[in-house]
Amino acid sequence: MALHAGGDLGAWANWRTDRHVARCAECRQEIAAFRAARRELPDAAEIPGVAWNRLAAQMKANIRLGLTLGELEEPAPREAGPSAWARPAAVFAGLATLLAAGFILQHNGPHPIRASQDVEVETTANGIQVRQGAGALGLLHRGASDIDVNYTPGAQGAMSAQNVDDTGHVTVTNVYAN
């Protein structure tokens, strides 16, 4: 209520408070009391008998003294232990783990997925292949090498491959085996 009386609320908070105050007599009285106090406060700020300049000079002197003593004091010796190397080691371990996971996830080797007992979906050097026993059906990626294709194995026998060929066309292949 004091912030509202002084006009220090933001637009949204001021609007919400105005809506509440329109319905609440108790809050209207409280805001009126705060506004009256704000009008009387500037007169009360001048306290007779206080030498403000002297008080400010003493405060500055104390601050300078504290800064000087802080410069003269020797820093506390650092404790030997794992704290000196623990943070860099943790950062290095995290980065190494991230790089290893990225390499494993981006590796475009064969990704066989068993859809059922005898059906298997896997990636090949030039596409996706569905094998069942001795027979196989392959979908080839025209104009793309194995490095240019992004394979995404899915659940329950699904495989997706996305690539951009040499003509700039995007090819998305989704294979679902039952």
Asked if the model's pLDDT at residue 116 lies above 60, the reply is: no
pLDDT at 35 over 80: yes
Check whether 127 has a pLDDT greater than 90: no
3-class secondary structure, 141: coil
Nearest Cα residue to 115 out of 155, 80, 87: 155
Residues in CB range of 130: below 8 A, 6 or more apart: 119, 120, 121, 136, 137, 138, 175, 177
Helix or strand run (H / E) with residue 122: strand 119-124
CA dist 130 and 176 (Å) reads: 9
Q: How confident is the model at residue 10 (pLDDT cuts 50, 70, 90)?
A: confident
Query: Which helix (DSSP H) or strand (DSSP E) does residue 174 occupy?
Result: strand 170-176
Q: What is the pTM of this model?
A: 0.31
How many whole angstroms separate alpha carbon 118 and alpha carbon 122? 13
What phi and psi, each to the nearest 5 degrees, are found at residue 142?
-70, 130
- Give pLDDT, residue 114: 56
Q: Could you give the C-alpha distances from 120 to 111, 132, 174, in angstroms and in order?
A: 10, 6, 14
pLDDT at 51 over 80: no
Place of tokens 């306290």: 47
Residue 76, φ and ψ in degrees, nearest 5: -65, 140
Please, what is the average pLDDT of the chain? 76
What is the arithmetic mean of pLDDT over 29-56? 77
- Parallel/antiparallel/unpaired status of strands 135-140 and 150-153: unpaired
CA distance 14 to 4: 7
Min mean pLDDT across 48-62, 80-94, 147-161 is at: 147-161
Instruction: Give the mean model confidence (pLDDT) for residues 11-17.
Output: 86
